[in-house]
Structure 1
């Protein structure tokens, strides 16, 4: 009688240090072929380090990695690694200026039997065949920058599979997807699983772990805490394993009683018949001391409307007033001067400067105030940064630490601190909790409630019910229009139906 086959991918006894920091301590994971395996843990638990070791980008100080029971390839043999494993990161790795076909064969243009490069026509033909094989319905000659986030991820998966691997790591794949796009991605995953592809699925959205994974591994404080079938690990127990303490299923904090009934404070933001490529004839108001949610799927216009208030998107018509004064649209400096702070949707490209330190990122909007004649006094900069680090509970070695050395949740907190640095009267938060853990989510939403208590107006753009519970009211957008409004206390079923544009049945 033969024993159980070895895991498709296995890491055992992994320890990894970066100077005095222990990123992993005697940790491990075993992924069996044919099913999705979840990997969860708070930011800083060691997930990214484990992925780097599983993909050969880092060498462990101790421990072993094996694929199908055989030792992992030598670190320099990237082609061998590519045949065993691929990682699709939260941040897109497609090259926007290249076509889909060029991205699929990036760095390895196909050759003929004589060793000569194939023609561009044949490249496109082979790309089309590859896309059809894996069910990716995008044009092979499309420029990658026009792809949706969902399409770009499927192109990355197809590129990985074309190199021979049948093991794909998905790192926060839905962080920038709405509910409908995420459901389509899950459908793609199930179809690929039926074709023999195995996934290691990393997400802070715990509901997704239960939806797409059979088994889950929890990391905490650089160690593996538990591996179990998801059906044997209820949400409460899963969160407890992640945090190390008894935990109730996560609920966003409920809004405090409004300072004025119905949020009828002074109007801080007035949007009058605003129009643009993504939204049409939108009018709304935000009162001081009010948190208003703006929900909608990709293409609804919600993200672009939030960005317009912060000067990140230029509307073509209509008017925005901030604190009673007209706002010059399409200008970030004008929005900052008017009293608007913004946490943008993509912290990597809009919220942070990766080459700078924690302190430099936090103080960037107020750098002109940190010394005479535009010169920055490091002591003033670091003092401001330390206050923000303390207030937002940012886990960092200090103000001088490179922002890229922080976990995703702490990077998001740095981006939030940067938005608050100007002491804005209006705060625009666009997908503030995308890709962060349970505790970071709670801390970021608490910022919105503190801002509300301080009399600021907050626009919170999200399609996540856990985020929207923190709002006094929620506006729903679809097709560029505001289509519904809900006061606090809404039923989740009704709100989701409005976001999805699905009429609720009766009975």
Structure 2
């Protein structure tokens, strides 16, 4: 029996075909991956499987029974739930309130509500207090609360949309352990991820969409990684990441950190030369993100200094960092990198917007960004909210480079993007280094670090190891986990 089966599903937005006669079936108790490039149709399928959108053609059945009508939200909640990359929990409410949101009845009995919440959290092994404010939880805890909320409605199919994008290694393993335990209890998962290694680690079956069409469904165990990437891209071969082996770098220092301390890191000294790419690796609690955010002025240092070209940069001041020649791709494009309602041209030019007094000049800059970074878009006036994740990230990169910075800081630069977008973004880093810029790449993904000339590993806020570009996965992971 299939937990869900969708057949012949077609969805159109005007002349655009978002899904073209696709199919997918998730067996009961299975963990089924859905992968594809940005724009392949994955998000549109999720909207159909969760009852947010009726397909123009095709059908959806849960455990052999036709899906409810779109208006019957309670019936959909009993069938399926989605835990999105961006949490849908209400941050200012308590865990208990979120668990039973819109289900607490006209008269709330708070003591009974907290007791029911505590029982539910214990049942699914979620170690948080019912009275805790969701805003105070970690990303991992919020996800587990949302999974518990979904299961409490009776849903036996959980869709996980990029669930690991903001988790570190140990948190990802705990999530996978929880998924395995729930799968053994009969819960089914549809797992959407751009991290192909995770597909091999936690999924049994994989379906590939490409250009809004179904391409492949196969057991994960019998599918080589190169075959999977070929199915996603339509091109033979694996991920092509420039390793910088033939790059030349200057002896001239561009970025200098001297005894820098701040939130979650202590006494970091580092010099990055012109044409050099330095990686920062470590767990989510290592301090690597906080260090990078201090470099570009989002955080204030408690000691030490940041200098560009020998001139000290005022700490805790993003405009000062921009004026000093530091461009940044922040770790969360949705909240820190883009203004969703503005156009591609406005977002890509935001760091130099005062330079444009005419609309024609702004649109010309937008067209240049689209051409330079291969942004798939209708034109410079298109809102960035209409773009796929990979193309949104390219706009963020265009914005970071618009002011021609001497230093480029990139935090998780390929998070939530497909294979080809990943190649393109890392290619931009390589090209900027060849043009003489200094770059710092901070990432949780090993593939992102292959573009680096050397990689520094932080552990509990201190630099504990440094590797040249010939590093191996095992030794880098061991240093990240504190085992070297």
Q: TM-score range by the shorter chain?
A: over 0.9
Q: Would you say the 8 A contact 1:474–1:488 is kept in 2?
A: yes
Question: 1:165 and 2:155 equivalent?
Answer: yes
Q: Distance in 2 between matches of 1:265 and 1:381?
A: 37
Structure 2: any 5+ residue segments left out of the alignment?
none
Q: Distance in 1 between matches of 2:52 and 2:348?
A: 30
* 1:306-329 CA-partner distances (Å, limit 9, x unpaired): 111111122222211122111111
Structure 1: any 5+ residue segments left out of the alignment?
372-376
1:488 corresponds, among 464, 469, 476, to 469
Aligned 1:36-47 pairs, distance under 5 A: 36-47=31-42
2:206 corresponds, among 196, 216, 229, to 216
The alpha-carbon deviation at position 251 of structure 1 amounts to 4.5
1:253 corresponds, among 237, 242, 258, to 242
Q: Would you say the 8 A contact 1:251–1:466 is kept in 2?
A: no
**Equivalent residue number for residue 116 of structure 1:** 107
**Equivalent residue number for residue 251 of structure 2:** 265
**Equivalent residue number for residue 129 of structure 2:** 139
Q: Distance in 1 between matches of 2:412 and 2:190?
A: 24
**Equivalent residue number for residue 24 of structure 1:** 19
Structure 1 265/103 Cα, relative in aligned 2: closer, same or farther at 3 Å? farther
Matched position secondary structure for 1:349: helix
The alpha-carbon deviation at position 396 of structure 1 amounts to 0.7
**Equivalent residue number for residue 242 of structure 1:** 232
Matched position secondary structure for 2:428: helix
Matched position secondary structure for 1:280: strand
The alpha-carbon deviation at position 124 of structure 1 amounts to 2.0
Q: Would you say the 8 A contact 2:253–2:274 is kept in 1?
A: yes
* 1:290-317 CA-partner distances (Å, limit 9, x unpaired): 1000001011000110111111122222
The alpha-carbon deviation at position 245 of structure 1 amounts to 2.1
Q: Would you say the 8 A contact 1:292–1:475 is kept in 2?
A: yes
Q: Distance in 2 between matches of 1:107 and 1:359?
A: 40
The alpha-carbon deviation at position 288 of structure 1 amounts to 1.3
Matched position secondary structure for 1:495: helix
Question: 1:197 and 2:187 equivalent?
Answer: yes
**Equivalent residue number for residue 66 of structure 1:** 61
Q: Distance in 2 between matches of 1:106 and 1:360?
A: 38
Q: Distance in 2 between matches of 1:275 and 1:97?
A: 32
Question: 1:429 and 2:429 equivalent?
Answer: no
**Equivalent residue number for residue 84 of structure 2:** 89
Matched position secondary structure for 1:281: strand
Q: Distance in 2 between matches of 1:297 and 1:21?
A: 41
Aligned length: 484
Question: 1:103 and 2:89 equivalent?
Answer: no
The alpha-carbon deviation at position 96 of structure 1 amounts to 2.1
Give runs of ≥4 in structure 1 deviating > 3 Å. Answer: none
Q: Distance in 1 between matches of 2:102 and 2:42?
A: 28
Q: Distance in 1 between matches of 2:94 and 2:29?
A: 32
Q: Distance in 1 between matches of 2:194 and 2:202?
A: 13
Matched position secondary structure for 1:224: strand
1:337 corresponds, among 309, 312, 323, to 323
Question: 1:478 and 2:459 equivalent?
Answer: yes
**Equivalent residue number for residue 374 of structure 1:** none
The alpha-carbon deviation at position 71 of structure 1 amounts to 1.2
Deviates more, 1:345-354 or 1:121-130: 121-130
Question: 1:56 and 2:58 equivalent?
Answer: no
1:155 corresponds, among 142, 145, 150, to 145
Q: Distance in 1 between matches of 2:101 and 2:298?
A: 32
Q: Distance in 2 between matches of 1:133 and 1:178?
A: 25
Q: Would you say the 8 A contact 1:169–1:199 is kept in 2?
A: yes
Question: 1:277 and 2:272 equivalent?
Answer: no
TM-score by length of 1: 0.93
* 1:431-451 CA-partner distances (Å, limit 9, x unpaired): 001111110100110111011
